[in-house]
């Protein structure tokens, strides 16, 4: 389990829940720093991006919400009558989920998901959480595991960015650096900072549609459809 000093993401969400305004600071391992809005994690359904709202129509049955953050997806699906298990590696994030009313929120890393959580009809990785698959080898291993944890009609609803849709020299240079090191172009190593806290470095995998189809080969999944937006897409994986 992450220590308090490591749980920068959770501390950020707890501060945001308490009404303190902060940006989400993300540091890439080449030194690039970016900042995002924390309010997005708490947004009500009516303020979600259109492609997120569309994706919710494809959710069915019992749901595993991976990388639950502040619980916005779990809360919406609960309101719709779904049984939801919300997991996050961040203890602070899970605490925020529980305070906001998520009924079943657990501290659990994606690689620790197993049959003890039960069987699901839908696994949701919204908000670029497809990136938690981390690498080619880990992605294939986790997709096979998800196949065994889902029903015959099981599906995965997951969001990522196609990192090739950029002309930014900083991003293009990073992709080339990854390829030289034998990594996937969109295998991004980063951490989140908040005050004096910083998460451990972790890999976030961003893939094109063709790369996702390749990752799914041999795992029992196939790419069924995508829902596009300006800067990301949601992939719906169905059992093959």
Q: 16-66 pLDDT, tens per residue?
A: 999 998 899 999 999 999 999 999 999 999 999 999 999 999 999 999 999
Q: What's the whole-number mean pLDDT along residues 83-101? A: 98
Summarize pLDDT for 200-223 with one digit per residue, the tens.
999 999 999 999 999 999 999 999
* β-bridge mates for residue 122, sequence order: 63, 155
Decide if pLDDT at 123 tops 90: yes
pLDDT of residue 38: 93
- Average predicted confidence (pLDDT) for the chain: 97
* Higher pLDDT pick, 192 / 37: 192
Is residue 120 within 8 Å of residue 150, measured between CB atoms?
yes
Q: What's the whole-number mean pLDDT along residues 9-22? A: 95
pLDDT of residue 44: 97
Q: What's the whole-number mean pLDDT along residues 112-124? A: 98
Residue at 171 is within a domain: yes
pLDDT of residue 22: 84
Residue 215's H or E segment, with its range, is helix 209-216
Residue 54 domain boundaries: 8-239
pLDDT of residue 1: 82
Q: State both tokens at 44.
A: 């009500």
How many domains does one find in the chain?
A: 1
SS3 string, 137-171, reads: HHHHHHHHHHHHCEEEEEEEEEEECCCCCCCCHHH
Summarize pLDDT for 151-171 with one digit per residue, the tens.
999 999 999 999 999 999 999
Q: State both tokens at 165.
A: 């849709």
Percent of the chain with pLDDT over 70: 100
Nearest-angstrom CA–CA distance, 40 and 16: 11
Q: What's the whole-number mean pLDDT along residues 126-139? A: 97
Residue at 3 is within a domain: no
Residue at 2 is within a domain: no
Residue at 1 is within a domain: no
Q: Which domain CATH number covers 24?
A: 3.40.50.150
Is residue 123 within 8 Å of residue 43, measured between CB atoms?
no
pTM: 0.97
Name every residue whose Cβ is closer than 8 Å to that of residue 213 and which is 6 or more positions away in sequence.
222, 223
Residue at 71 is within a domain: yes
């Amino acid at each position: 389990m992450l220590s308090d000093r490591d749980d920068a993401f959770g501390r950020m969400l707890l501060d945001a829940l308490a009404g303190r305004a902060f940006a989400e600071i993300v540091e890439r391992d080449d030194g690039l720093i970016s900042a995002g809005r924390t309010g997005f994690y708490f947004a009500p359904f009516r303020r979600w991006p259109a492609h997120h709202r569309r994706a919710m129509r494809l959710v069915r049955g019992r749901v595993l919400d991976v990388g639950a953050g502040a619980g916005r997806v779990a809360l919406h699906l609960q309101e719709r009558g779904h049984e939801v298990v919300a997991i996050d590696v961040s203890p602070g994030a899970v605490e925020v989920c529980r305070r906001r009313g998520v009924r079943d929120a657990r501290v659990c890393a994606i690689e620790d998901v197993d049959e003890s959580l039960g069987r699901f009809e839908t696994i949701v990785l919204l908000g670029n959480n497809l990136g938690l698959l981390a690498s080619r080898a880990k992605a294939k291993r986790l997709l096979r595991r998800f196949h065994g944890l889902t029903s015959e009609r099981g599906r995965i609803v997951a969001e990522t960015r196609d990192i090739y849709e950029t002309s930014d020299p900083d991003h293009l240079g990073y992709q080339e650096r990854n390829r030289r090191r034998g990594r996937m172009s969109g295998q991004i190593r980063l951490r989140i900072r908040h005050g004096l806290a910083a998460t451990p470095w972790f890999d976030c995998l961003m893939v094109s549609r063709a790369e996702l189809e390749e990752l799914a080969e041999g795992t029992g999944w196939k790419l069924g459809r995508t829902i596009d937006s300006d800067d990301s897409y949601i992939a719906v994986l169905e059992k093959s």
